[in-house]
Amino acid sequence: MTESILRTSHTSELTPGDLGAARALLDQAFDGDFSDEDWDHGLGGVHALVHDGAGALVAHGSVVQRRVLHAGRSLRVGYVEAVAVRPDRQRRGLGGLVMGALERVVERAYDMGALSASDEGQGLYLRRGWTPWKGPVGTLGPTGPALMPDEEPPLLWGGAALDPEHALLIDWRDGDVF
């Protein structure tokens, strides 16, 4: 791997140029299938950005706070969003570099981590110890709690004390709930 420079910054510390470069990277990595709502979901938390030796952004991810209700408890969850590596730099350890930084944030600031993986990205997360949730999922939506039986369960980091007999009810948001 060529020289890579990792930095973490809160959204509020990023310049318009940083944000524009991250959005362009995500659009490129997801081949145009990264919506404005997807972008919005990744803002307001801590970003991990990897630049190459020439200063170009080659990888990005963020972790934002969400709330999950589980078995009568409200848990503060570090939800991983907007993870991508520039297509010409994939399979070189940059996704792992981003995830290592985000996992450190989750470990130090949240009760647990969660994410919704793409088919292409799932292997990275599973190799790093993220585990599929085995119980029901739902949301605390505008009309109250609602189970989502057709929703892909998230991958979790930590959360070993969770009981899959009880649903994970995540806070509502526009676009994809998970």
In a domain, 80, yes or no: yes
In a domain, 177, yes or no: no
In a domain, 178, yes or no: no
The total number of structural domains in the chain stands at 1
Instruction: Please report where in the chains the tokens 């793409």 appear, as a residue.
Output: 118
68-109 pLDDT, tens per residue?
999 999 999 999 999 999 999 999 999 999 999 999 999 999
Instruction: Please report where in the chains the tokens 């972790």 appear, as a residue.
Output: 63
- Encode 75-91 in three state secondary structure: EEEEEEEEEEECHHHCC
22-50 pLDDT, tens per residue?
999 999 999 999 999 999 999 999 999 99
Burial class of residue 102 in the structure, from the number of CB atoms within 10 Å of its CB (0-12 exposed, 13-18 middle, 19+ buried): buried
What are the b/e assignments for 125-156, b being 16+ CB within 10 Å? beeeebeebeebbbbbeeeeeeebeebebbbb
In a domain, 176, yes or no: no
In a domain, 51, yes or no: yes
* Total-model pTM: 0.95
127-157 pLDDT, tens per residue?
999 999 999 999 999 999 999 999 999 999 9
In a domain, 60, yes or no: yes
In a domain, 117, yes or no: yes
Asked if residue 53 has pLDDT above 90, the reply is yes
CATH code (residue 160): 3.40.630.30
Q: What is the β-pairing status of strands 137-141 and 168-171?
A: parallel
User: In terms of residue numbers, what domain contains 147?
Assistant: 4-171
